[in-house]
Structure 1
Amino acid sequence: MPISETWLLPDGVADVLPEQAQVIESLRRQSLDFFASRGYQLVYTPFIEYTESLSSLSEANQDLDLVSFKVIDQMSGRLLGIRADMTPQVARIDAHVYPVEGVARYCYSGTVLHTQPQNSSPSRTPLQLGAELYGHASIAADVEMIDVMLGLLHATFAIDQTHLDLGHVGLFKSLVRYAQLDKNNERVLHDLYQRKALPELEELTQSLPHGNDFYILGRYSGDLVALETHLSQDLLNDPDFNAALNSLKTTVSEIRLRWPHLSIGLDVVELRSYHYHTGLMYAVYVPNRAQPLAQGGRYDGIGEHFGRARPATGFSCDLYALCAGQFKTLETVVAPAGTDVELLDAIQQARQDGLSVVQLLGNDTLNSVPSATHQLVYQGGQWVIQKIESV
């Protein structure tokens, strides 16, 4: 292979260079500290596992299975998967490895790998950051998770002009059950809702049982008042549909109390990861950006595959995407070579003050430290730090 090709990386895989790596690592630490302040305990999960563990929900994880790289373990002969999402791993910890009683709160940060880029991102190696809450099925748990998500973006990333999108897959799922819809029509409706194809939706629903309710759900997907006005009373009286609708209304009220100036939008037919989520879904957007900064939702029962099904809700984000375009100028203090005690004390003190200090090696000059911005010089009987003036 020519030398010119040996340094090339696969599509969707990139190095992170010092000026940006410094920003990302600083924000990663701040994020984990923020989670810790809210009682979320940090866990590390392995980069590779048996595929059975990484695909803990057969139907729900079909999409996840497609984006997971797989290899054969030369020690056991079994199929291994490289994690494409950390939530199944945290579910395994909650269900089997660390089965605490009551509510468990976890946070994590780590690289995941995808066979194909996801959500219009060119990257196949997101740095996933997230938090999850296990063991509580209440609306309060979802509200806490949304509050943590918004608080993280505000406190750590200084992002204030956010828009929260809320949905609830229980509305569509309960209507499907109520209408006793077959799988084929369910899939077609799912596609139409995702494409916001109202003319096609209107045509299809004319031939479906309770078709008007399916149409109204798409027609007024962002207006709870209009939904309650136009949906059939029989559907509104359905216990499952009513519970989903009320939980959505309560969540909006609770979030407005905590974030009174937040822009909130609703879309009850936003059905991303439809087979994965079981209830409330949430995502945060900012102006001029199509993809969400962070997103999550409820996924009850995810630990069943590991022998312990529990209520669960959580969110995640890609740190690389959050930090895109952010760079920090590297500042380095250069000290001369030598073993003078006062010089070594000055170097140590500067490092204790939080500065990055490089001591020259042998006959090196300032030119050997490309990031040099300051230097230690002996002046007036003491070592002082001076800014290096550009020529």
Structure 2
Amino acid sequence: MPISETWLLPDGVADVLPEQAQVIESLRRQSLDFLAQRGYQLVYTPFIEYIESLSSLSEANQDLDLVSFKVIDQMSGRLLGIRADMTPQVARIDAHVHPIEGVARYCYSGTVLHTKPQNSSPSRTPLQLGAELYGHQSIAADVEMIDVMLGLLHNTFKLQHTHLDLGHVGLFKSLVKYAQLDQDNERLLHDLYQRKALPELEAVTKTLPCGQDFYMLGRYSGDLIALETHLSADVLADVAFSDALQVLKTTVFEIQQRWPKLSIGLDVVELRSYHYHTGLMYAIYVPNRAEPLAQGGRYDGIGQHFGRARPATGFSCDLYALCARQFEKIDTVVAPAGLEKDLIGAIAQARQDGHAVVQLLGSDDLSSVPFATHVLALQQGQWVMKKIESV
């Protein structure tokens, strides 16, 4: 490879330079502190594992399996997977490594790697931050998780005008089971719902069992009152369907009590990660952005692969996406070279006061620190910090 190309990075992989790295790291620390205050314990997970461990999630979510890099371990000869999501690893910790009784709350932050960019993001290396709650199947656990997610985005990232989108895969799953649909028709409906293709949906559902109910699910996906009005009495009487509907109603009410000014929307046929989620799903949007800034949901039984199935709910976000186009000027103080006691003391005091101080090396002058913003200068026997005026 020519020297002129050795600095190039693969598509979807990028460096983070100081002015933005400082913002990201500061907000990462604040986020983990916020989660710790809510009782979520920090865990670190390995960047690479045997693929069997990571497959605890990919068996239910083929999309995740497709975006996971796989390599051969030269020590054991076994297939390894590079994490594309940290949830399977936290599930392993909860089920086998740290199997506490009762409710467990964990948080994490780390880089994940994708074979291809996901959604509209150009990045293949998101900096994932998330929180998960294991061991409780109640609506209260989901409400807590949504409340934590909203609190994190509002308090730490200072986001305004956020919109919460709620859904529940149980409505579609229970209706599919009630109508005894085969997998081909289930996949077809899933595709039509995801594309919001109402004309096609109307035509297709005319030939299906409970077809009118499937059409109404898509037609009134954002209005629970209208949906209940137009669904058949038999479907509304189905226990699984009515339970999922009640979960949505209760969640909306409880979130409104906590966040009275929050914009809340419903989409009962938003079926992202349909084979992975088992119940309530939630996502946070902001104006002028198509993709959610944070999202999550319920995924009960995820620890079954490790011999301990537990109810679970959680959310995650990409810190790079949350901090996009946020930069912070880095103030750097330059001190002259020297070992004088008062100079060394002034440098130590400036650092203690929170300033970044660089002491010149040897015979270097100010030009050796091109990004300097201040100098430590001796005035009337005292070392003082002076701003460097732009030329």
TM-score computed with the length of structure 1 as normaliser: 0.99
Change (3 A) 1:268 1:182: same
Question: Which residue does 2:46 correspond to in 1?
Answer: 46
Question: Which residue does 2:33 correspond to in 1?
Answer: 33
Q: CA deviation at 1:58?
A: 5.0
Residues 349-368 of structure 1 show CA distances to partners (whole Å, capped at 9, x for unaligned) of 11111110000000111111
Residues 198-238 of structure 1 show CA distances to partners (whole Å, capped at 9, x for unaligned) of 11101111110111100000000000000110101111111
Whole-Å separation in 1 of the counterparts to 2:67 and 2:161: 32
Q: CA deviation at 1:8?
A: 0.5
Q: CA deviation at 1:390?
A: 1.3
Report the residue type matching 1:173 in the other structure: K
Work out whether residues 198 and 218 of structure 1, in 8 Å CA contact, stay in contact via their aligned partners in 2. Answer: yes
Secondary structure in structure 2 of the residue aligned to 1:122: coil
Report the residue type matching 1:337 in the other structure: A
Q: CA deviation at 1:60?
A: 1.3
1:134 aligns with 2:134: yes
Whole-Å separation in 1 of the counterparts to 2:389 and 2:118: 45
Secondary structure in structure 2 of the residue aligned to 1:187: helix
Secondary structure in structure 2 of the residue aligned to 1:55: helix
Report the residue type matching 1:218 in the other structure: G
Residues 249-286 of structure 1 show CA distances to partners (whole Å, capped at 9, x for unaligned) of 00000000000000000000000000000000000000
Residues 273-322 of structure 1 show CA distances to partners (whole Å, capped at 9, x for unaligned) of 00000000000000001010100000000000001000000000000011
* Equivalences for residues 357-372 of structure 1 within 5 A: 357-372=357-372
Question: Which residue does 1:68 correspond to in 2?
Answer: 68
Whole-Å separation in 2 of the counterparts to 1:61 and 1:308: 19
Whole-Å separation in 2 of the counterparts to 1:300 and 1:371: 51
Question: Which residue does 1:5 correspond to in 2?
Answer: 5
Question: Which residue does 2:388 correspond to in 1?
Answer: 388
Whole-Å separation in 2 of the counterparts to 1:59 and 1:331: 49
> Which structure 1 residue ranges, 5 or more long, are not aligned?
none
Report the residue type matching 1:89 in the other structure: Q
Question: Which residue does 2:152 correspond to in 1?
Answer: 152
Residues 132-165 of structure 1 show CA distances to partners (whole Å, capped at 9, x for unaligned) of 0000000000000000000000011000210000
- Name segments (4+ residues, structure 1) moved above 4 Å: none
Q: CA deviation at 1:377?
A: 0.7
Q: CA deviation at 1:59?
A: 3.7
Report the residue type matching 2:240 in the other structure: D
Whole-Å separation in 2 of the counterparts to 1:370 and 1:317: 35
Whole-Å separation in 1 of the counterparts to 2:175 and 2:61: 23
Secondary structure in structure 2 of the residue aligned to 1:154: helix
* Equivalences for residues 76-87 of structure 1 within 5 A: 76-87=76-87
Report the residue type matching 1:38 in the other structure: R
Question: Which residue does 1:116 correspond to in 2?
Answer: 116
Whole-Å separation in 1 of the counterparts to 2:119 and 2:353: 42
Question: Which residue does 2:288 correspond to in 1?
Answer: 288
Query: Over aligned residue pairs, what C-alpha RMSD do you find?
Result: 0.6
Work out whether residues 169 and 274 of structure 1, in 8 Å CA contact, stay in contact via their aligned partners in 2. Answer: yes
Q: Percent identity?
A: 84
Question: Which residue does 2:252 correspond to in 1?
Answer: 252
Work out whether residues 55 and 61 of structure 1, in 8 Å CA contact, stay in contact via their aligned partners in 2. Answer: no
Q: CA deviation at 1:61?
A: 2.4
Secondary structure in structure 2 of the residue aligned to 1:60: coil
Work out whether residues 59 and 275 of structure 1, in 8 Å CA contact, stay in contact via their aligned partners in 2. Answer: no
**Count of residues paired in the alignment:** 391
Q: CA deviation at 1:62?
A: 1.0
* Equivalences for residues 182-261 of structure 1 within 5 A: 182-261=182-261
Whole-Å separation in 2 of the counterparts to 1:61 and 1:210: 27
Question: Which residue does 1:266 correspond to in 2?
Answer: 266
Report the residue type matching 2:211 in the other structure: G
Whole-Å separation in 2 of the counterparts to 1:95 and 1:101: 10
TM-score computed with the length of structure 2 as normaliser: 0.99
Report the residue type matching 1:321 in the other structure: A
Whole-Å separation in 2 of the counterparts to 1:62 and 1:275: 9
Whole-Å separation in 2 of the counterparts to 1:134 and 1:373: 49
Whole-Å separation in 2 of the counterparts to 1:95 and 1:190: 31
Whole-Å separation in 2 of the counterparts to 1:285 and 1:222: 16
Secondary structure in structure 1 of the residue aligned to 2:373: strand
Whole-Å separation in 2 of the counterparts to 1:385 and 1:100: 53
Whole-Å separation in 1 of the counterparts to 2:114 and 2:2: 28
Q: CA deviation at 1:387?
A: 0.6
Report the residue type matching 1:195 in the other structure: R
Report the residue type matching 1:24 in the other structure: I
Question: Which residue does 1:346 correspond to in 2?
Answer: 346
Whole-Å separation in 2 of the counterparts to 1:6 and 1:386: 40
Secondary structure in structure 1 of the residue aligned to 2:130: strand
Work out whether residues 58 and 64 of structure 2, in 8 Å CA contact, stay in contact via their aligned partners in 1. Answer: no
Whole-Å separation in 1 of the counterparts to 2:238 and 2:354: 62
1:125 aligns with 2:114: no
Change (3 A) 1:58 1:374: closer
Whole-Å separation in 2 of the counterparts to 1:62 and 1:196: 22
Question: Which residue does 1:168 correspond to in 2?
Answer: 168
Work out whether residues 142 and 313 of structure 1, in 8 Å CA contact, stay in contact via their aligned partners in 2. Answer: yes
Whole-Å separation in 2 of the counterparts to 1:249 and 1:133: 21
Question: Which residue does 1:104 correspond to in 2?
Answer: 104
> Which structure 2 residue ranges, 5 or more long, are not aligned?
none
